[in-house]
A and B are shown apart, each in its own frame.
Chain A
C-alpha cells in the first residue's frame, strides 16, 4: 500500500513503450498520414513488379503428364454434330426444340445418360435481404408463362470404376433460337471430348455435360440448373408445371418414345459433388493473328476460383496446345505514357539495385510492367464490381471452382482450320479434365485470394494487403489526434476564462461534459449512416413503380434521398444544431468520428471484397484526411490552404458515387454515350448480382461523402 501511494505521488509515472509509441505517432499524425498514404499508393503501383510466377501447387493434378488421347475420329464426330446443328438451324422453324433433340440424340448414341431440365428465367429483383445469403430453392414464381421457358440438355457419363461421389462439369452455353457458328463449334468441341470420355477407362469422377439454353442469358440457365442440382425441390411445383404446360411435356414424351430402351430419363439427373466446372465458349468473330484463349474467373463479390485451376488451364494451353492465353485487361491503360514512364523508372531502379546486389532480381521490363498494370487494374475492377464475368459465377455460389474459357480462333472458313480448332480445343479440355480427375480432394492447395497480373503471374493476398493496410493505417491516428486536439483546445480556452477559485468546480463539470461531447458528433455520423441505409433500401420501393424508365427512376431516387435526409435532419438532429453553433472545434470532432467510421467500414469491406475496399480507400482516405472547413482555409489564404481547397473540391466531386461512375465510364467508353439513366442501370445490375459493392457504396461511401461535404461547408 505504501509503495503504491509513493508511486502515485510521483510526478511522472512510467509509460509503457507501446503507449509512448502510440502517443508519438498520434502527435505526428500529419507526417505519418502523408508517408503512409503515399507509400500505400506506391505499393499498389509496385504490385506488378512484386508479382510471382504461378506454379502448380497441388501434387495430385499432374497436368500434361498424360498424352492426349483425343484423336481425329473424335474430331470428325464433333464436326458431324456441328454440321447437323447448323443445318437444322436453316431447315426448321421450330429450331429450339429440334436442335436440343439432336444434341440429346448424339449424347444417347454415345451411351451417356441424358435428361432435359426445363427452367423459367428469374426476374432480376431487388431483395434487400439477399446479400450474402446463399441461393435458395424456394424461389417459387407465380408469374411464369408456358411460353417462356428454357431447356437445358444434360448428359452424364458415369465413371466405369468410380464411386460416383464426385463429378466434373463441362458447360457449353447454346442459344438454339439464334445460335452463331461459334456456339455450334463449342458444342462440337465439347462433343468430341465427351465421345472420348465415354471410351476411356481412367475416369474417377463422373462427367456432366450441360448444354445451357442461353436464350435468357447464359448465367440464368446455369444457375437454374445448379439450383435444381444442389437444392432439390420437394414441392409439387414440377408437377404443377407439367400440368399447366402440356406442350413441354409432349416434347418429352416424344423423346422417350423415339429412343425407347436407352438411358433417357425424364427426371433430373445427378452425379456427385462437383470438383470443378469449365464453361466453354467459342467467339464468333476472331480478329487475332493467332488462336487465343481468354480466361474469365471473377465470380460474385470478387470471389475467385482456386489459382490451381487457372494454372492448369494456362499450363496446358501454352505448353501443350500452343494457344495464347489471355486474361482481361484495361485496354485504355495500355497506351498511357505515364504508366510507361513509371515502368521505366522501376526498371532503372531494379538495374541500380542489381548493380548493388547481384542476387536481388526484381524488376521487369517497362512494357511488361504496363501490361501487368493493365491486367491488375482490370482484375481489381472486376473483383470490385462484384458481378461475375460469366456463367462460371453461378458455380462459385456453391463453392465449386469454375472458370470460363473463351476460344477466339484466328478466323478462316476452311475445314482444316475447323478441325484444328476442334482438335486443340478438345485436347485442352481433355487435359484439364484428366488433371482434375486426378484430384483426391477439393481444390485447396493454392490461393483463393489473389490478383492476376498476367495469365502466369499473380499477386497473393499477403502482398496486396500491404498496400491497403498502409493506406488505411493513418485513419485511427488522425482520428485520435483530432479528438485530442479538439478536447485540449477547448480545455485551454475554458481554463483561461474562469477564475482560479471556480476552476476546480468548473473543471470537473467541464471534464464530464467534454468527455461526452463527441457523442453529439457520433450522433450526427450515426444519422447520416442511417440515411445511407435508407437510401440503399429505396430502390426496392422504386422498383415496384411500373413502367419506369431508368432516368426517371434515378431522378426519383435522388429526390427521395434528399427528402429523407432533410426529414431525418429535422427530426433527429435539430437539438444538435444549436449546440453545434456554440462550439468552436466541433468540425474536428465530426471529422474524427467520420474517420473512425470510415476505418471500420473499409476494414469490414476488405474482408468481404478486398478490391472494393482498395478502390474505395483510394478515394475516401484522401478525402477524409483533407476535409477541413473551406471558411478556415479561405480565411488563412496561404498557398498551402489554397492547395487544400482545390484538392478538397476535386475530391468532393470525384467521391460522389454517381460522379465517380460517370467519370469512370467516360474514361473507359468515352463521354459521348453517358446518360443519367446509366447509373441506375449499373446500380440495378449490382443488386441483381447481390454485390456487396452496392452496400458499400450506399452505407459507407455515400455517408462518408455527405459528412465530408458537411465539414467542408461547416460554419465556424
Chain B
C-alpha cells in the first residue's frame, strides 16, 4: 500500500521573491504555488503505518471457509452487518460409528457403535424434526407477539427471525450425501458456533441409535458473502483485495438498506 503513489503533496500559495531582479531597487513579488515542505514524503514518512482490521463472525481453528474482514471504515459496516442477523450456510461432514469427547474426529474416543441400520430415510426424518423444532424456536425467540396480523403476515413470508441475542438456531438443514459411514449436511443457521454444529452431528448420531463425529465444518456463505467472493491464500495481495472490496460494496449496501431500513 505504501508503495502505491500517494497523494500529491499539498500546495500553497506563497509569495516569493522574483528570481533575478536582485540588485537594488524594488523587489517584485511573484505569486507561485510551491509544495509545502511538511508534506514531503521524506518528512512525513510512509503514509500507512497501521491498518484497522476488524473480524466478522468467528471461525474456529478446526473449521474453514468464508471469513469476513473489515478494513478501516469498513468496521462500522461490520457492526451493521452483525445487527442484520443474516443466516450463514455451512457444509458439515460427519462419520458414523464413533463418539468422541469433543465431537470431532481428533478427540479422545468414547464409544464405537454399529451403523449399518442407518438409511437415508431415517436420517431425513431426523433432519426434518430438527428443522421443525428449530423453526419453532425461531418464531419464539423473535419476540413478536403472535396474536397480531403483522406477525401472521411475516410468518407467511418467512421473514420472522430473532433480531437480538438468541441461542443458536438452525433455519434449514438437509442431507447432501450419505455413503455409510460418511455423510454430508448443508446447514443454514443463526447465532451459532462451530462447536455447536459438531454437537448437532453428535446428537444426530444419538437419535439414530448410533454415534457420529464431525469431520469437517466449512462455511460457504456468511450473509451476503459467498465462496465466490472469498480470496484464496494465494490471492492475498493488494490488487485482489481492492477488487474484492469493490465488487462487494454494492451487495452490502443493498442488503443493509433492505434489512435495517
A complexed with B:
no
